[in-house]
Structure 1
Amino acid sequence: MQHEPNGTVEPDRTADEPLSSQIARNCLMTRARQISRVLTSVYDDALRPFGIVAPQFSLLVMIAEFGPISRSDLGRRNHHERSTLTRNLQPLIAQGWVAEGVPASDGRSRPLSLTHEGRALLKNAASGWSAAQSHATRLLSEDGAHELMNIARKLPLRMV
């Protein structure tokens, strides 16, 4: 990849190389999704003994940090589509780890909060998270992990 003066990253180009090969080798989205799948697998493996997977654990943490929180605010903070958020929340609610409050004055939003059992799960699963965090840091390197966190901090909230 070549860094242009305007700060953009231009793919390496070979005149006779097919466009698909250039894209396959240089696509940021493809690489980010590969990294995401590998890291999700690392965290899933470490959290599985606690009866939870990485996307659900992430939601537990977000609800603990920002709750009570509406589904729409949670979705914006974590860049979730509504259907993905619902699919990952359903088991948390069914297991009794997350509770939906009474509807707000608008009659629509039902704030999410952790139950006592959800807080206990978060505390118990912290050892699995810590092991996964160490493994992920080794995979990415300290510098890579630090850069990934810096990139994530700069992302805007979803507007939808």
Structure 2
Amino acid sequence: MEKKTILKQPSLCHCTNMRRSSRAVTQFYDEMLRPSGLKVTQYSLLNHLRRLGPLTMNELSKVIRLERTTLVRNLKPLEKIGLVKITVENPSHARLVHLTEKGLNSLEKAIPYWNQAQKHLNELLTNEEIRVFKGVLQKLESISQ
């Protein structure tokens, strides 16, 4: 996918710049993943469940650093279409999130599109920019723990 890159004037506010960048990258990944039927947020949730196995809501919330209420809201459509299954574990009554076979199949279908998006960003940025970018993101994530 050949896309023209237009550099925009940054804001004085770091938060505004991060939010703009985040929206642009999310929209880009969503567009690349469109043929798979998944959005990047859904892809990420399914991929975490594939890698880590069934997790409680609290565990999944911590792993992906997403507020529990937002996680529940994001899981509902996935559960409705059968990509995840949520069970209640006794005696703790913790809700356990499982990736279903259908969810695994959807994820497998999406992987080539995700790889294509990754490749495009790897071509847009230099190796040094990617290294610095990851380091900056890691620092920024540590300010809110």
Scaled by the length of structure 1, the TM-score of the pair is: 0.73
In the alignment, structure 1 segments of 5+ residues that lack a partner are 1-23
**Residue pair 1:42, 1:136 contacting (<8 A) in 2 also:** no
Task: Return closer, same or farther for 1:29/1:88 CA change in 2, 3 Å cut-off.
Answer: same
Question: Is the radius of gyration larger for structure 1 or structure 2?
Answer: 1
Relative contact order higher in (CA < 8 Å, ≥ 6 apart):
2
- In structure 2, how many angstroms separate the alpha carbons of the residues matched to 1:66 and 1:131? 24
Q: Give 2:129's match in structure 1, choosing from 140, 144, 153.
A: 144
In structure 1, the partner of 2:53 is 67
- In structure 1, how many angstroms separate the alpha carbons of the residues matched to 2:75 and 2:23? 20
Task: Return closer, same or farther for 1:95/1:35 CA change in 2, 3 Å cut-off.
Answer: same
Q: Equivalences for 1:41-80 in 2 at 5 Å?
A: 41-80=27-66
CA drift at 1:32: 1.3
RMSD: 2.2
| Count of aligned residue pairs for this structure pair | 135
Matched letter for residue 28 of structure 1? H
In structure 2, the partner of 1:16 is none
In structure 2, the partner of 1:5 is none
**Residue pair 1:46, 1:128 contacting (<8 A) in 2 also:** yes
- In structure 2, how many angstroms separate the alpha carbons of the residues matched to 1:73 and 1:121? 23
Please give the secondary structure, in 2, of the residue aligned with 1:96.
Answer: coil
Please give the secondary structure, in 2, of the residue aligned with 1:35.
Answer: helix
In structure 2, the partner of 1:112 is 97
- In structure 2, how many angstroms separate the alpha carbons of the residues matched to 1:27 and 1:140? 23
Q: Give 2:86's match in structure 1, choosing from 100, 107, 110.
A: 100
- In structure 2, how many angstroms separate the alpha carbons of the residues matched to 1:30 and 1:140? 21
Task: Return closer, same or farther for 1:87/1:144 CA change in 2, 3 Å cut-off.
Answer: farther
Identity fraction in percent? 33
Q: Give 1:123's match in structure 2, choosing from 108, 130, 133.
A: 108
**Residue pair 1:39, 1:136 contacting (<8 A) in 2 also:** no
**Residue pair 1:102, 1:111 contacting (<8 A) in 2 also:** yes
Matched letter for residue 37 of structure 1? R
Matched letter for residue 132 of structure 2? E
**Residue pair 1:63, 1:113 contacting (<8 A) in 2 also:** yes
- In structure 1, how many angstroms separate the alpha carbons of the residues matched to 2:64 and 2:137? 11
In the alignment, structure 2 segments of 5+ residues that lack a partner are 1-9
